[in-house]
Amino acid sequence: MNYRDICNRIREVVGRVAEYVEYQHNNRENLSIEAKGRQNYVTGVDREAERQLVEQLGGLLPEAGFVAEEGTSTKKGRTYNWIIDPIDGTTNFIHGVYPFAISVALAEDEEVVAGVIYEFGLREYFYSWKGGGAWLNGRPARVSSVTTVKDALLATGFPYTDFELLAEFMESLRWFMKNSNGLRRLGSAATDIAYVACGRYDGFYEYGLNAWDIAAGTLILREAGGAVSDFNGTGNFLHGGELVCSNGKIHKEFVNTVKRFMSPE
């Protein structure tokens, strides 16, 4: 498979679906909202955007299956699977604030080989393919050069359904607020990871994540020179529900600090 070609074709599909989402964002009088759980919402736009993505991506690679947030398709591929979040940051979308993003990745077996994130607020495409580097609107993207957590601008995401580790998480926030260059929370994990990839943030961590939140971003970040792991520093992050990512230079220190609070011995 030509990973670069498939990445370019994913961008074309995402661009078409983004036009639909943008229109709905600007014409939101009849926006339908449904609660999937406490603080967990889906709109008709999420479902229709995912349907369009599934239909068009299915035409690119008919043998591929889907791992999609809204369950539009449950088809499983033997080798290839699309991992899709039609709107990452649905709560932001509902309230008419940025960021929110489309995130699409292609996995070959368990390895992500192509990924595209489109963030609507700044109209930015972040994308990568295996071995092809990371790109932002046609320009190379690279991680920052920060070497210590105390100098790092960090990002995180707040739990909204899983509060099992809330006390530990709040302690980690307290520590990073006092011992880093700052802490941000945007409400879109895909965007957060992309911002680490292009050097705007130096690190990001969150728990309670799903594969569709992070698949495209983790490939883009690694191709930009960054590092990705779970809270214990291992590679079990795609389906493990927890993620630490960084510019690579602070990764060991960052992981050890997150682990101290979130995965104590």
Q: Do the beta carbons of residue 111 and residue 131 sit within 8 Å?
A: no
Q: Is the pLDDT of residue 13 over 70?
A: yes
Give the span between the Cα atoms of 17 and 116, in whole angstroms: 13
Total domain count, the chain = 2
> Residue 35: its pLDDT value, please?
72
Q: Is the pLDDT of residue 38 over 70?
A: no
> Residue 251: its pLDDT value, please?
98
Q: Is the pLDDT of residue 103 over 70?
A: yes
Neighbours of 4 (CB within 10 A): 14
Residues 23 and 99 in one domain: yes
Among candidate residues 94, 115, 140, the one where a domain is terminated = 140
Residues 132 and 159 in one domain: no
Angle at 70 between CA 67 and CA 75, to 5 degrees: 40
Q: Is the pLDDT of residue 200 over 70?
A: yes
Q: At what angle do helices 44-60 and 3-26 cross, to 10 degrees?
A: 160
CATH number, position 56: 3.30.540.10
Give the span between the Cα atoms of 248 and 96, in whole angstroms: 34
- The percent helix, strand, coil of the chain (3-state, each to 5) is 35, 25, 35
Residues 136 and 170 in one domain: no
Residues 167 and 234 in one domain: yes
Residue 70: φ, ψ to 5°: -95, 5
CA-based radius of gyration for the chain: 17
For 226-236, the pLDDT digits (tens) are 999 999 999 98
Among candidate residues 121, 140, 159, the one where a domain is terminated = 140
* SS3 at position 52: helix
Q: Is the pLDDT of residue 33 over 90?
A: no
Residues 79 and 167 in one domain: no
Residues 15 and 106 in one domain: yes
Residues 247 and 130 in one domain: no
Q: Is the pLDDT of residue 39 over 70?
A: no
Residues 135 and 19 in one domain: yes
What integer is the mean pLDDT of 31-56? Answer: 85
CATH number, position 242: 3.40.190.80
CA distance between the termini of the chain: 43
Residues 8 and 133 in one domain: yes
What integer is the mean pLDDT of 201-212? Answer: 97
Residues 173 and 102 in one domain: no
Q: Is the pLDDT of residue 36 over 70?
A: no
Among candidate residues 122, 140, 158, the one where a domain is terminated = 140
What integer is the mean pLDDT of 69-94? Answer: 94
Tokens representing residue 138 in the block: 């046609």
> Residue 37: its pLDDT value, please?
58
The pTM of this model reads: 0.95
Give the confidence band of 74 by pLDDT, cuts at 50, 70, 90: confident
What integer is the mean pLDDT of 230-258? Answer: 95
Which domain does 31 fall in, by range? 3-140
Rounded to the nearest integer, the mean pLDDT of the chain is: 94
Using the 8-state DSSP alphabet, how is residue 264 labeled?
-
Residues 129 and 183 in one domain: no
For 122-135, the pLDDT digits (tens) are 999 999 999 999 99
Residues 32 and 80 in one domain: yes
